[in-house]
Amino acid sequence: MALYAIGDLHLCLGAPKPMDIFGGAWVGYMDKLRQGMAGIGPEDTTVLLGDLSWALDLSGAQADFAWIDAIPGRKIILKGNHDYWWSTAAKFYKFCEENQFQNQWILNNNCYFYEDWAICGTRGWFFEEEKSGQHDEKVFRRELIRLETSLKAAGNREKLVFLHYPPRYRGYSCPEILEMLSDYQVRSCYYGHLHGDSHKLAIEGLWNGVNYRLVSADFVGFRPVTVIL
């Protein structure tokens, strides 16, 4: 039994937006993902850190979630900035039931347990990506509430946090999220979102008691990272 993490699959079976057009590591990425997921077993748990499908709604994402459904074991899903299909947990679970998709779970205002560990997280936020050029306070505060709700649900268990957006990278940090990770004694934080040339902005390793790790698909060679084995 193992716990894995990978983000930014950018599946395009239901929307004609293959990442191959960006060249480099993304060429043939769907085949690379299939090979990378081959080692996952039915007893394992895989956390998928957002940007899973280019589809604009759940109906358009059917083929992509069929692909995800074929990954053995439990899949825990975060929202990314390109997950336009995302609606409500109730609608997602109805969608899964209608399509006979099993063992796919939304991480949003909750947490899940893996042995003695708690799997916590939310999307997070990037201030400078706002089209208006201003900090969207309402969305940011909502993300903070979701993260704290998830951490509180973990109780006294050891906490692992999974975010789509990095809470810190070269030239930027989100003090509110970093403080919350410290306050709740989070051991490790995994994040995605950064691609291509942005990989050089990633900050990994131990900082203020938390170990940070970038797990976007192209950064980890389209193979899920082992969190706990």
Looking at residue 213, which CATH number applies to its domain? Answer: 3.60.21.10
Q: What is the pLDDT of residue 19?
A: 80
pLDDT of residue 186 exceeding 50: yes
Q: What are phi and psi of 211, to 5 degrees?
A: -95, 120
Contact 22, 196 (CB under 8 A): yes
pLDDT of residue 95 exceeding 90: yes
What pTM was estimated for this model as a whole?
Answer: 0.94
pLDDT of residue 130 exceeding 70: no
135 falls in which pLDDT band (50, 70, 90)? low
The model's pLDDT over 27-74, given as tens digits with 9 standing for 90+, comes to 999 999 999 999 999 999 999 999 999 999 999 999 999 999 999 999
Q: Could you give the C-alpha distances from 201 to 133, 154, 186, 197, in angstroms and in order?
A: 21, 31, 22, 8
Average pLDDT, the chain: 92
Q: What is the pLDDT of residue 128?
A: 53
pLDDT of residue 131 exceeding 70: no
Closest by CA to 143, choosing from 173, 187, 171, 174, is 174
Quote the domain boundaries for residue 56.
Answer: 3-228
pLDDT of residue 134 exceeding 80: no
Separation between Cα atoms, residue 95 and residue 183, nearest integer Å: 37
DSSP per residue, 18-38: -GGGG-GGGTTHHHHHHHHGG
Contacts of 30 (CB under 8 A, 6+ apart): 11, 12, 18
pLDDT of residue 133 exceeding 70: no
Q: What is the pLDDT of residue 171?
A: 85
Q: What is the pLDDT of residue 132?
A: 46
Total number of domains in the chain: 1
End-to-end CA distance of the chain: 7
Separation between Cα atoms, residue 161 and residue 172, nearest integer Å: 19
Q: What is the pLDDT of residue 184?
A: 97
Averaged pLDDT for residues 194-217: 94
138 falls in which pLDDT band (50, 70, 90)? confident
